[in-house]
Amino acid sequence: MRKLTNKQIEKRAIMVIIEYFEPLIDEVIKQSEIELETLNAFKKTQGVYLKVRIDDECVKKAIKNINSKSHSFSSAKTGGILEKKDKIIDKHSPEENVFTEVE
């Protein structure tokens, strides 16, 4: 903080930051463990060695999973939230009232 602001920082300010980020970090750690278990389940199916350490890829996937649960950035075309629109039916449209001539 001091490098960014060039100001003196109180210990209480640092404690507030720690209290804010600690639950988020705990959530990332728990989700990272889930990602490791998922990866190992795939590896077990393939008959490949299992990982014992949580690596950077597990943490990246965990962060991505947590963020995707909070916000949907996808458009409707890519599976995002679809808005229901009322369909207006014109009962007297020219296509429906086509008459055929009988000879």
The verdict on residue 96 lying in a domain is no
pLDDT at position 68 is: 87
pLDDT in tens, 58-98: 999 999 999 887 655 555 555 555 555 555 655 665 555 55
pLDDT in tens, 15-55: 999 999 999 999 999 999 999 999 999 999 999 999 999 99
The verdict on residue 69 lying in a domain is yes
The verdict on residue 97 lying in a domain is no
Number of domains in the chain: 1
The verdict on residue 103 lying in a domain is no
The verdict on residue 34 lying in a domain is yes
The verdict on residue 16 lying in a domain is yes
The verdict on residue 79 lying in a domain is no
Residue 46: give the domain boundaries: 2-73
Q: How far is CA 96 from CA 52, 81, 88, 90, 93, in A?
A: 67, 33, 15, 10, 6
Q: What is the pTM of this model?
A: 0.61
